[in-house]
Structure 1
Amino acid sequence: MNAPLIEAVGLSKTFPGKGLFRKGRPVQAVKHIDASVARGEAVGVVGESGSGKSTLGRMMLGLMPATEGSVRFDGKLVNDASRAEWRRLRRRMQIVFQDPYGSLDPRRRVGDQIADGISIHGLLPSRKRERRVAELLNKVGLDPAHAQRFPHEFSGGQRQRIGIARALSTGPDFLVADEPVSALDVSIQAQVIQLLGELRRDLGLAMLFISHDLPVVANLCDRVIVMYLGRVMEEGTARSVFARPVHPYTRALLSATPMLDPARRARRILLQGDPPSPSNPPSGCVFRTRCAHARDACAEVVPELRPFGDAGTRVACIRAEEIA
């Protein structure tokens, strides 16, 4: 693999507890995560709601301060970057949000919003910004004349394309796509996913793609990170993780994926109970309370993410060899 463009080491995020009359337990949203994305690479992050996927993406972008750990971008440590340094970094790091309507200002024309990044970073003189906005709208499959419209005049899929155009306006090297199609109709999802794949290929974008949709991640991404309750359960190439999942949690996720071909359907693995609270995680392996393979040792040992097999997979399970 090429050298990482962005690399997170030991990232953790703890939110203070909330309570009406007394202070609640702190919430451990992310715990000791290592993640990296190389130039031109797409890394998928999957897991149930509340697993810490979006928190990880926002910490890597500097939108949320980490409680512990470090982030390097293009080889430089950015944890303690000054405001001026972050301003320069912002041009190279962008995000596409989950809600395409909530991320746009309903009172402003979309062309002006796309041009904001160009203006803030002084990338083009004012006389050339309109042409650049037209080029971006055309790149994401919209009519340049749409620049004069307001967000409410577009469909959900069109609004997400506008969000992508806005993210691309500064010519970023790294893009976080945070559930970019979950709020869209299924027929529109495929168009947006295809667009992201084409942009990644044409522009050489490094991408962290956060999603619940496992088939999309399998087709779009080079590598996959599987998260559960703030920790990484399994990591590896998309091909190896989806073809030969090792961790019981990864197997359960894949077994729930709908398949049209009956011959390819896996036996559904039903997880017992609800995910534990991140304010009171289980001891040892955080997945053990829902794992059919759990033993007494799983409550005593916090499994390290370690290499497994020869396909570049890493797994956090002390019984991986027994259950593989």
Structure 2
Amino acid sequence: MDKQRLDKILELLWVCKLPNLEDTKYLLTLGQQVLIKEPNVLKLQSPITLCGDIHGQFYDLLELFSVGGHPPEQNFLFLGDYVDRGFYSTETFFLLLALKVRYPTKMFLIRGNHESEQVTMDYGFKEECKRKYTDETIYNLCLEAFNALPLAAVIDGDVFCVHGGLSKDLKTVDQLNDIDRNMEPPEYGLFSDILWSDPDEKINGFEESQRGAGYLFGGDVTAEFLKNNNLKFMCRAHQVAQDGYYKWFNGLCYTVWSAPNYCYRGGNLATVFEITNADKTKFKVFREAPACARGKQPDSMLPQYFV
């Protein structure tokens, strides 16, 4: 790793400027190489700060760091969905990837359902790459980096972290290490479910999800999964939370959401979730970055959907 070259790339990205074509290829190639060496399930230690969906809201990501601290002073785990919908998905993903490469033992990224070729074709990231880089290689290198992202994490052996949620096929955390993750997620099955599933207070067991992928899962199966794996609770992202977070099943499951005023019109708060240990945690709530910090927004139509 050329630290001097990487630091120059980071200097640009911190102020929302894209690297040139060759430096971008260098970053994406190096990022893929760093990520693919990690296991499917990261084994991490507290203290650590968890972050939910970002969705290309670059200036709100800067707000997140101003509230939660900056790497490498703080340890971070991001729970996926870095791209799509926001104006700055390329800058957002590239900054997080560059931080991962520069501080590999302090910065951790796992995969969300939007880190996918099919989803990014439909929700804006592919089009953004084409608009900002005429070379199609950049988008393809992004897909390779997406495929290299780990799938889950366990903190201190106590806290299970994943983007979406549980699957009826998931009995043990170790099962996730058997998945070949270096591929586009399939439409159905365990790999898909952990990216797409959602908790639901109104059900027991598993039910079909209106998303068309993953499941709804109840408190009973959440408690069973945690007990069988000697875990205390789980954290996930994937769903907008108006207050920035949501506590499910009397604290067995938490949603962490880190994109304030989602899609620049949602009106919601955002949070980071600080875990000192499983018995000492804290949500830090923040609002969207002030208008004066955002600069001129690009000429781009906002998507007319929330998923």
Q: Same fold (TM over 0.5)?
A: no
